[in-house]
Structure 1
Amino acid sequence: MSPKLTSLLTMGFAMDTVLLSDRGDLNDIEISLLARSEIGVWEGRASTQPESVTEQIATT
């Protein structure tokens, strides 16, 4: 029998290019965060890559 859920904790924090760069360096990866706008278009929010690469990812 599984344990009974008694609480749920949700936390959020700002993710910017500095944070992504730190995580990317730690794991030796490139990271891009994208979000859909209200009209459904993908937009780059933060990235360790050049802006042109992030735009290309968003439109692919």
Structure 2
Amino acid sequence: MRDNYDFSQGVKNPYFDRLKTRSKKQSLTLFLDDEIVNWYKENEFSHQIEINNLLKEYIKNH
């Protein structure tokens, strides 16, 4: 490992601003039926995003 590093030619992370404006999320352990988990795996959905979107849609309608 070096004692000093030169960052004068460094480039700002283009995703930094998006990270600051992301909504805050909390971690939660959720137990789902095998049928639901298997369906998401078979259909290759990003299950966390899809389940989050389904729950938000449900809340809007109730």
TM-score range, shorter chain: under 0.3
Q: Which has the higher strand share?
A: 1
Q: Which has the higher helix share?
A: 2
User: Which is greater in Rg?
Assistant: 2
The normalised TM-score by structure 1 is 0.23
